[in-house]
Amino acid sequence: MSSSIFPLVVFARISAVLVAALVLIWALFFKTSFIPHSPSSPDNFIYAVLHPLLMVIGFIIISGEAILVHRWVPGSRNMKKLVHLGMQGVALASGVFGIWTKFHGEDGVVANFYSLHSWMGLSCVSLFAIEWVMGFMSFWHRGEMRRVRMKMLPWHVFLGLYTYSLAVATAETGLLEKLTFMQTKRNVPKRGSESIVVNGLGLGLALLGGLVILAAISPKTPPIHNLSTKSNLL
Ligand code: HEM
């Protein structure tokens, strides 16, 4: 791993652990917030609590680690690509499953898609799926169309980072929507411990997003011997 990137990857990991801890604390210690008002089925609680867990830990944290694979996985380029593809596959599965958990409302699927959060969420997971299928195809057709793949690379990087930022922004709208609902309809105190945990989670996600993107776009420092070879050439 390049030494100049190393602290960034470590800071990104620390913020990922913080975010995972906060979402787990929310799910474990504030269970009542996830119990539906008119409990038609006991499963509804599980679906409600699984949604933020899968979206934050499965979708955002794992896809962030996958973005940084080229910074921390040792070995060949193919090995790195395979780990990247595999981890993004896990993130995609979590995203699809996480949205599926919301399809259990009494009013059916279409009735739920009223919010900015749901529209952004659907766009984000769809973009992610398209990007993953394209990456999968290009991995298995490595030898072919090398020039086309090289041309597509900047677009892959742009679309990947854009989708990742969209995921973070979507989660922020989900947190805001849920917390506003809890504060206005379920008397959750505005300065109470649950509000602090959820706001802290939102801040943690904003920090994590920034660190992952910064680590991804930071140039790798070439090894010292390459530098001296280059200066010899100049
Ligand atoms: C990248 C992260 C996320 C994505 C892509 C996402 C996606 C979605 C989608 C597509 C829906 C609509 C499904 C339906 O209602 O049938 C939805 C609903 C919902 N999500 Fe998320 N979500 C994310 C994170 C979160 C988080 C962190 C929370 C916090 C609790 C949350 C809370 C909710 C709530 C309360 C609903 C139901 C109300 C609504 O449809 O707006 N989401 N989400």
Instruction: Write the CATH number for 28.
Output: 1.20.120.1770
Task: Identify whether 67 is part of a domain.
Answer: yes
pLDDT value at position 78?
A: 85
CB distance 60 to ligand 1 below 6 Å: yes
Task: Identify whether 143 is part of a domain.
Answer: yes
CB distance 52 to ligand 1 below 6 Å: yes
Residues 6+ apart with CB under 8 A from 84: 66, 69, 70, 135
Give the model confidence (pLDDT) of 2-53 as tens digits: 556 678 999 999 999 999 999 999 999 999 889 876 656 666 888 899 999 9
What is the distance between the alpha carbons of residues 232 and 226, in angstroms, rounded to a whole number? 10
pTM of the model: 0.89
What is the distance between the alpha carbons of residues 201 and 51, in angstroms, rounded to a whole number? 15
Domains: count for the chain: 1
> Domain span at residue 185?
6-219
- State whether residue 232 is helix, strand or coil: helix
CB distance 167 to ligand 1 below 6 Å: yes
CB distance 8 to ligand 1 below 6 Å: no
Nearest residue by C-alpha to atom 12 in ligand 1 = 118
Give the model confidence (pLDDT) of 172-220 as tens digits: 999 999 999 999 988 899 999 999 999 999 999 999 999 999 999 998 7
Task: Identify whether 229 is part of a domain.
Answer: no
Task: Identify whether 226 is part of a domain.
Answer: no
Cα torsion 169, 28, 87, 17 to 10°: value is: 80
Q: Which of 23, 55, 114 to mutate to test the pocket of ligand 1 (most atoms within 8 A of CB)?
A: 55
- State whether residue 114 is helix, strand or coil: coil
In the reported structure, the alpha carbon of residue 99 is separated from the centroid of ligand 1 by a whole-number distance in angstroms of: 7
Task: Identify whether 225 is part of a domain.
Answer: no
Task: Identify whether 227 is part of a domain.
Answer: no
CB neighbour class for 43 (10 Å; exposed up to 12, middle 13-18, buried from 19): exposed
Task: Identify whether 233 is part of a domain.
Answer: no
CB distance 64 to ligand 1 below 6 Å: no
Task: Identify whether 230 is part of a domain.
Answer: no
